[in-house]
Structure 1
Amino acid sequence: MDVYESALDLIGGTPLVRIRSAGAAAVYAKLEYLSVGGSAKDRIGRRMIEQAEKDGLLGPGGTVVEATSGNTGVGLALVAAEKGYRTVLVVSDRVSREKVDTLRAFGAEVVVKPSNRPREHPDHPMRFAAHLAETTPGGWLANQYDNPANPEAHYLTTGPEIWRQTHGRVTHLVSCIGTGGTISGAGRYLKEVSGSAVQVIGADPASSVYAGGDGRPYFIEAAGHFVHPDTAQDVWPTSYQRDVVDRVVPVADRQALDTLRQLARTQGLLVGGSSGTALAAAHQVAAGAGADAVVVVVLPDSGRQYLSKYFNDAWMLGLGFLDGDASGARVADAVTEDSRTSPLPYLTTRTTVGEALAALRARAGAGADAVLPAGPCPTSSDRRPMAPELTGSVTLAALESALHDGTAAPSDPLADHLEPPLLAFGYGEPAEDAVGRLAGHTHSTAVVLRDGCAEALITSSALRAALPTRH
């Protein structure tokens, strides 16, 4: 057995394992979750801290500060624990419960901030972390998005490991893009050592801007690039070196989730959401490559960090990522044909009361009780709003009453007159369960979600009509 002096010596050195794929090309997964801290971010945690020490930015008694979706925080926290530093990490409220618990287990202090904030807002995790670092004596901001030690860690370790493990036969590298450090560092090394023969392919949530999406929210943690509509300037991380990447493959959330769940059940590999995204892209790459191709896909972290989400059938069903039991009455069976073929009207907090009234009056005859969902993010008619964006609702009766008694004006922003959010049901949930939950709610109308997006509005009467008649 090998013997090591500390946990730091157990960072990296992860194996490759063959993945069964429909294509003729060989697909190998680099299991980064077998690193001591459970992810590819262990590598950058060590590199960034040790570089900060060399540069005199972090000294005895210092505090490591970072905004993180979890994995980089773990990497930093375990290195800081070994070296005796305090760690303060800022996460958004969309980070999985397991990740927050893991960060605290390593002794980190965790600050949770709202996810739906523009980059310039003082409560945006990155902005708040920067403020903490500035105001904490001995504080040092890791700044993974713009720290050159991030891609350098993968250039010095991940890339060489892949080249050695494949005996120089690797032809394609597939990796998710988050901060961009993994794909930039490992990709640059492999291009250099192969004389640019290795193709570097990014995998990205379909709505992320890296893949050419509109930047709206998605459900895959630790991947992609979300852009809040109120962000003044979309700043891409300098850790992402775009000249290294040959192309980016967009992957829908459902495809990523189906892929990671299938991998656990067929090959015994329990991986996270970004791994599902990367593997789905790798399957596409392998399908188009020749029999001599060797595709290496980086699987960044473990599925144990997402047991309450991606491997939880109730979570998946509630967001419409599972189709449910078609042998029984489902919420989907109560959605009318009109709702399926026409876009769901969606108001935003920027909508005026007058505009909302016009939409509600047009909707009044559509069998949805003249209720519409509302949220903070603007949308276009060809884009379905995501579940996290639905933060309130409005009714025709309430707005007309407010206009009549003078408490609202047509030019008022809708944000000042929102009612509580509507209930939301996944497309495949049992209709009977939905009827029971809706019975005790303020509104008799609910939102139907499919793949995390608002698909339609549904009424309690439509749900009851979908139930089988009992004799």
Structure 2
Amino acid sequence: MKENVKIYDNILETIGNTPMVRLNKIAEDIPGTVLAKVEYFNPGHSVKDRMALKMIEDAEARGELKPGGTIIECTSGNTGMGLALAAVVKGYKLICTMSDKQSKEKMDILRAMGAEIYVCPTNVAPEHPESYYSVATRLASEIPNSFYPYQYDNLSNREAHYESTGPEIWDQTDGKITHFVVGVGTGGTISGVAKYLKEQNPNVKIWGVDSYGSVFKKYHETGEFDEKEIYSYITEGIGEDILPKNVDFDLIDHFEKVTDRDGALTTRELAKKEGLLLGWSAGSAFQAIRQMKHELDENSVVVVLFHDHGSRYVGKIFNDDWMEERGFLNHKNKMAKDLVDKHRHLPLLTVNSFEPLDHAIQLMRKHQVSQLPVKEGGQFVGSLNDTKVLQAILDNPENKDKPISAVMDAPFPIVQPTDEIRSVAAKLDKNTGAALVKFGEDEYHILSRHDLVAALS
């Protein structure tokens, strides 16, 4: 044994100081430098080891967790693993409540570490008595000498990343980092790292990765908690139907939503191109960079945090049968967002209903488009297409001086980014030549009949 090799007193002392790895093949078309903070090098194979230990040690210091006690936590699996390590070393019992969308591998690993597991339904409201939040709360009230960390609101969570992850990233990049990208679930990682990085350089951009079906992006942009944004999704570990106290929205510059399918496929791509066997949220995080690459330049130094190891997803995203069952490997199963991603960075061209028709003609000619949405008072009130415009001019050349409202058709239908393109196509008829894809409160992009024909042929 070499004399300079340190012997650790227990496995908890190996948490942190994870490597920074340059991404190469997969990042060839991304401007600047893309670096990955690979957190599966933690002993519990995820970033959550850091905050799990911090929550336990802070609770011990406050006297809330006593010898022989029971730790009870609601978890998607990774926090549970970090708590399991602490429980084994420190002599506590661990009970984890988990939603039924979590992988079997995560549950099996926790049981192997001595944890007791309660599996709860995913598709219930947070306040429902069977939700994994409510079950954990109930158990904590019933079991004596127990401690419920509740990672969502426990600020030791983000403090752990302020104390360790943030300084490590700053040091490993020699302070050259320009962008930090990470999936947001409890919010501890992004908020703790963001606080530290912005104290060193306020110009560092912080991008949070969200799921479709989660409330974060809209709340960040509008301040509105919109329950209509909430629907079921299957990406694990990111997105929420609640607003955890650990999420400091003031420190986050942008939220980018990524679909379940795109995150899964990118995770598989990272394994094949970079040799990184990662968890689902890691693929989502890199996919967000792809979607936002128009914001980067050759001087950008982007650090993306890869949360956990892919061994917990071998029965899901790394299983071809599972992927095919969900249409993720079927190249024909495209969604609306796939057809607008290449021009999503461009603003939507619109005209106002009171403008003369000639203005719309000039706009169509300049930008070589055949369809235009019509707005009035900030709302979509109609639509124009080149066939209708041509007929109006043939009927009477003076129509070009009339307001657009005199010749416009009904507004284009509005669809969601995750709508399958066949369902989008079904909304079009001979009088409707396009649809509008809604990405956010004020972000829309057009999907023409020509786009759909090309994708379906």
Query: Is TM > 0.5 for Structure 1 vs Structure 2?
Result: yes
User: Which of 155, 178, 191 is the aligned partner of 2:185?
Assistant: 178
Q: Secondary structure at the match of 2:255?
A: strand
Counterpart of 1:9?
Answer: 13
**Which residue pairs with 1:203 in the alignment?**
209
Return the offset for 1:292.
1.2
Partner of 1:433: none
State yes or no: 1:222 paired with 2:237. yes
**1:252 and 2:259 matched:** yes
2:126 corresponds to: 119
The match for 2:165 is 158
Deviations 1:319-372 (A, max 9, x none): 111116x8xxxx99xxxxxxxxxxxxxxxxxxxxxxxxxxxxxxxxxxxxxxxx
Instruction: Please tell me whether the aligned partners of residues 91 and 113 of structure 1 are also in contact (alpha carbons under 8 angstroms).
Output: yes
**Match for residue 63 of structure 1 among 43, 64, 70:** 70
In structure 2, what residue type is equivalent to 1:5? D
Distance 1:246 1:149 in 2: 23
What do the CA deviations read for 1:117-173 (whole angstroms, capped 9, x no partner)?
Answer: 212211111111011111111111010000010000000000000000001010100
What secondary structure does 2:256 align onto?
strand
Q: Could you tell me which amino acid in structure 2 is paired with residue 124 of structure 1? A: S
| 1:275 aligned partner | 282
Q: Which amino acid aligns with 1:15?
A: P
1:30–1:385 Cα change, 3 Å: closer
Any conservation in 2 of the 1:25–1:287 contact (CA below 8 Å)?
no
Q: Deviations over 1:58-115 (max 9, x none)?
A: 0001000000110000011111111000000111111100000111111111111122
Among 273, 276, 290, the residue aligned to 2:297: 290
Rate the CA distance shift 1:283–1:381 in 2: closer, same or farther, 3 A.
closer
Q: 1:279 to 1:385 in 2, by over 3 A?
A: closer
1:285 Cα deviation from its structure 2 partner: 3.8
- Do residues 106 (structure 1) and 113 (structure 2) align? yes
Match among 94, 102, 123 for residue 87 of structure 1: 94
Is the Cα–Cα contact under 8 Å of residues 286 and 295 in structure 1 kept in the other structure?
no
Q: Secondary structure at the match of 1:76?
A: helix
In 1, distance between residues paired with 2:318 and 2:123?
25
1:139 aligns with 2:146: yes
**Distance across 2 between alignment mates of 1:38 and 1:129:** 24
Q: Note the C-alpha offset of 1:250.
A: 1.1
Q: Conserved in 1, the CA contact under 8 Å of 2:127 and 2:133? A: no
Q: CA deviation at 1:282?
A: 2.2
> Aligned residue for 1:190?
197
Please say if residues 216 and 243 of structure 2, whose CA atoms lie closer than 8 Å, have aligned partners that are also in contact. Answer: no
Matches within 5 A, 1:440-451: none
1:258, distance to aligned residue in structure 2 (A): 1.5
> What residue identity is the alignment partner of 2:325?
G
Q: Deviations over 1:241-267 (max 9, x none)?
A: 101100111112221111111110111
Change (3 A) 1:49 1:259: same
Separation in 1, partners of 2:105, 2:78: 11
- State the distance in 1 between where 2:290 and 2:415 align: 29
Provide the secondary structure at the position in 1 that maps to 2:229.
coil
In the alignment, what sits opposite 2:176?
169
**Residues 384 and 255 from structure 1, CA distance in 2 versus in 1: closer, same or farther, beyond 3 angstroms?**
closer
2:38 aligned partner, one-letter code: L
Q: Distance in 1 between matches of 2:291 and 2:173?
A: 20
- Contact 2:234–2:260 (Cα < 8 Å) also in 1: yes
Output the CA distance in 2 between the equivalents of 1:46 and 1:286.
35
- Determine the C-alpha separation between the residues in 2 that align with 1:383 and 1:168: 39
Alignment of 1:398-417 (within 5 A): none
On the 8 A contact 2:181/2:207 being kept in 1, the answer is yes
**Deviates further, 13-22 or 212-221:** 212-221
Cα deviations across residues 390-440 of structure 1 (Å, max 9, x unaligned)?
xxxxxxxxxxxxxxxxxxxxxxxxxxxxxxxxxxxxx9xxxxxxxxxxxxx
> Could you say if the C-alpha distance between residues 287 and 385 of structure 1 is closer, same or farther in structure 2, counting changes exceeding 3 Å?
closer
| 2:321 pairs with 1:306 | no
**TM-superposed deviation, 1:384:** 10
Determine whether 1:18 maps to 2:22.
yes
Partner-residue secondary structure (3-state), 1:130: helix
State which drifts further: 245-254 or 143-152: 245-254
The verdict on how the C-alpha distance between 1:17 and 1:384 changes in structure 2, with shifts beyond 3 A counting, is closer
Quote the offset at 1:207 in angstroms: 2.9
1:37 is aligned to 44
Equivalent position SS for 1:128: helix
1:354-393 equivalence runs, <5 A: none
Tell me the distance in 2 between the aligned counterparts of 1:381 and 1:266.
Answer: 37
Q: Distance in 2 between matches of 1:382 and 1:246?
A: 26
Secondary structure at the counterpart of residue 207 of structure 2: strand
Q: SS at 2:302's partner residue?
A: strand
CA distance in 2, matches of 1:285, 1:171: 14
Stretches of 4+ moved more than 4 A in 1?
380-386
CA contact under 8 A between 1:264 and 1:270: conserved in structure 2?
yes
Work out whether residues 39 and 45 of structure 2, in 8 Å CA contact, stay in contact via their aligned partners in 1: yes
What is the CA distance between 1:287 and its match in structure 2? 4.4
Which residue identity lines up with residue 204 of structure 1 in the other structure? D
- Aligned positions, number: 327
**Aligned-residue offset at 1:211:** 2.4
What does residue 104 of structure 2 align with? 97
The AA in structure 1 aligned to 2:11 is A
SS of corresponding position for 2:6: coil
How far off its partner does 1:215 sit?
A: 1.7
- Against the structure 1 CA distance between its residues 383 and 193, is the aligned structure 2 distance closer, same or farther, given a 3 Å change threshold? closer
